[in-house]
A = this chain, B = another copy of it.
Amino acid sequence: MKSKILFITLSFFSILNICTTAQQKIEQWNRLELTLNHPFTGNGYKDVHLEATFTGPDTSYVVSGFYDGNNTFKIRFMPQKIGTWKYTTTSNVAELSNQKGKFECIKASANNHGIIHVSDTYNFKYADGKQYYPFGTTAYVWTHMGKELQEITLNSLKNSGFNKLRMCVFPKNYDLVKEEPEIYPFAIKEISKDANNNEIKVWNFDQFNPEFFRRLEKRIDDLNQLGIEADLILFHPYDKGRWGFDSMPSDVNIRYIKYLTARISSFRNVWWSLANEWDYVKSKSHADWDLIAQTVVKSDPYRHLCSIHGATATYYEYWKPEFTHVSVQDESPVQSSGAAAMLRNVYHKPILCDEVGYEGNLKARWGRYSPEEMTHLIWNGVIGGAYVTHGECYMNKDATDTIFWAKGGEFKGTSWKRIAFLRKIVEECPAPLSLADVGRDNITASAGAGYYIIYFGKQMNDSWLFNLPAKNGSFSKLKAGTRFKVDIIDTWDMTIQSCPLIFETAAENDYRLFDKNLKKVRIPLKPYIALRITEVK
C-alpha cells in the first residue's frame, strides 16, 4: 500500500496549491481543501469515515471529509476567525488518520463579506456585518442544461441585480422541462427498458458520481464570484419516475445529504432549501422531512441558512429550530404589505416569499403575471418587511424554449430591471424596512430613524398631503418639528425626482403628524408610485 499524499487547496476555486510544509494563508470564509490520496480497495463512499478537527482561536470544528473518487479523499473547511488554525484527521482507515497541519486565517479581502446569517430577527447580515437584502430569482435546473446555456445564464445574472438564486441539485422532469442532463449524481448500475421502451436507469446508490458534484460546485463558486447566494434545493417532486431521485430509500437520502454537506458546507454562499414543494413529494412523510432537516443541520458545521418550501399556501412548521427563515410559496402574503408583516409577527424569523407567482406568458396562472404585477408584489412584500423572489416564465415557441425559471438563459421580461432598481433603493436605506404602524398603515415603511418609504401600489393620486404615522416601527416615535424632504419614485419607470419643498411636522394629530402648513407633494397620477421621505437635519 502506497502512503497517502497530503495536498492543501486554498480559496474557493479549484486552484490546486500543493503544499506540504510551508504555512498557508487563507482568507476568512474562503475554503481550505485537504486532499489525501490513498489507494483504498473498498467503497470509499460508504466504508470510509473521515473527519478532521480544526482548532483555531477560541473555537474548534469537526468537519466531515468525503471520497472524491480515484483514490482521493478530501476535507474542506471554511475558517471564520482570523488567526492560526491546526487540524488533525481521524478515520477508520489508518492511513487517513492522524494527519496534521496548520494554516493562518487572514482578514477577508474587500469583496468577501462572509457567510450570511439572520440578523435582528427578520433580516440578514454577512458575517462581516454588512447588511444583506435578498433579491432572488429562480432557475431551478440551470446547471443541468448545456454548458453554453449555463454561461449565458451566468452572464444574465451578472447583468441583473439578483443576489440569490433558487436552484436544484437534481434534474427536473416537468411538462416544460424535459432536457436530459449530461451527468447524474449516482453511478449507473444498469439500464433497462420500461413497457414503452423508455430507458430506465438503475442507480448504484452506493457510488456517488463525484464529477456531478464537481460541476455543481463550480457553478456555486461562479455564483459566489457574482455575489449571488445559491439557495440550493436538495429534493423536489419533479421526477415522475424518470430518475427516481424523489423516491430514494431513506438511508440513501441521508447518505446523499451527508455527502453533499461534506462537499459544500464550506462554500460560503450556500443556503439549504430542503425541498421545493415538499408536500408534492409523495414518497416522503412529514417525519421524513423532519429527519432530513435535522440531518442537514447536524451535518453542517457552519449553520448555513436553512428552510423548506411547499406548494401554494402550504406552510411547514417554520418555528422549528432547524429553520432559520420562512421560505413560502404563497401569493397571500404579498397581496398587501400588512399580510407580509403578519407573517413576521407570527414567526419572528425572516420571511422569504420564494414563490408568489412569476412574470411570464404561460397558460398556468402561476406563470403569467404581468411584469407590473410581479414588480408590484415584490414591492408589497418589501414594504411589509419581507423578501420576495422573482421568477420569469416566458415561452415563445414550445417547451424547448429556455424558460428562465427552470433553465436559465436570457431574461425576456422586464420586471428584473425594476427589481434591481428596488434593490438599490433598499440598500441605500439606513436600516431594513418594516411597517411603521403595523396593522393600521399598510403603505408606510420605516427604514431607519427619520427615513421612510411609502408605496402607493395601484392607488393613483395627483398629490399627497404630507403625513406620517406617529408610531415608527422599532424606532422612537416621530416628533413635532422634524424636517423632511421627499423623493418621488416611479417604481416602473425607474425614476427618482426630488420634491423641492421642505416639510416640517406639526404636533401629533390623531396618530399622525402632518406638515405644520399642511403642505402637499405633487405626484404623477400613475400607479406604482413610491415616496422616499428623509429627515433634513
A: which residues have CB within 8 A of B? 312-315, 317, 319, 330-333, 335-336, 338-339, 341-343, 345-346, 365, 438-440, 442, 510-511
Question: Judging by beta carbons under 8 Å apart, are B365 and A313 in contact?
Answer: no
Contacts of A341 in B (CB 8 A): 313, 332
Contacts of A511 in B (CB 8 A): 365
**Could you tell me the distance in whole angstroms from the C-beta of A523 to the nearest C-beta in chain B?**
24
Question: Judging by beta carbons under 8 Å apart, are A343 and B345 in contact?
Answer: no
Question: Judging by beta carbons under 8 Å apart, are A339 and B346 in contact?
Answer: no
Chain B, residue nearest A438 (CB): B313
Contacts of A442 in B (CB 8 A): 335
**Could you tell me the distance in whole angstroms from the C-beta of A266 to the nearest C-beta in chain B?**
34
Closest CB pairs A-B (n = 10): A332-B338, A332-B342, A339-B339, A331-B439, A315-B346, A313-B345, A313-B439, A313-B438, A315-B345, A312-B439
**C-alpha gap A100/B294 in the complex (Å):** 52
Question: Judging by beta carbons under 8 Å apart, are B330 and A342 in contact?
Answer: yes
**C-alpha gap A312/B511 in the complex (Å):** 15
Contacts of A335 in B (CB 8 A): 336, 338-339, 442
Contacts of A510 in B (CB 8 A): 365
A312-B438, A331-B440 given; name 13 further pairs at CB < 8 Å: A313-B342, A313-B345, A313-B438, A315-B346, A330-B342, A330-B439, A332-B339, A332-B438, A332-B439, A335-B442, A336-B339, A342-B342, A346-B346
Contacts of A332 in B (CB 8 A): 338-339, 341-342, 438-439
Question: Judging by beta carbons under 8 Å apart, are A342 and B333 in contact?
Answer: yes
**C-alpha gap A463/B345 in the complex (Å):** 39
Contacts of A365 in B (CB 8 A): 440, 510-511
**Could you tell me the distance in whole angstroms from the C-beta of A227 to the nearest C-beta in chain B?**
32
**Could you tell me the distance in whole angstroms from the C-beta of A87 to the nearest C-beta in chain B?**
41
Contacts of A317 in B (CB 8 A): 319
Contacts of A345 in B (CB 8 A): 313-315, 330
Chain B, residue nearest A333 (CB): B342
Please indicate which of the listed interface residues A313, A317, A343 has the most CB atoms of chain B within 10 Å of its own CB. A313
**C-alpha gap A313/B362 in the complex (Å):** 38
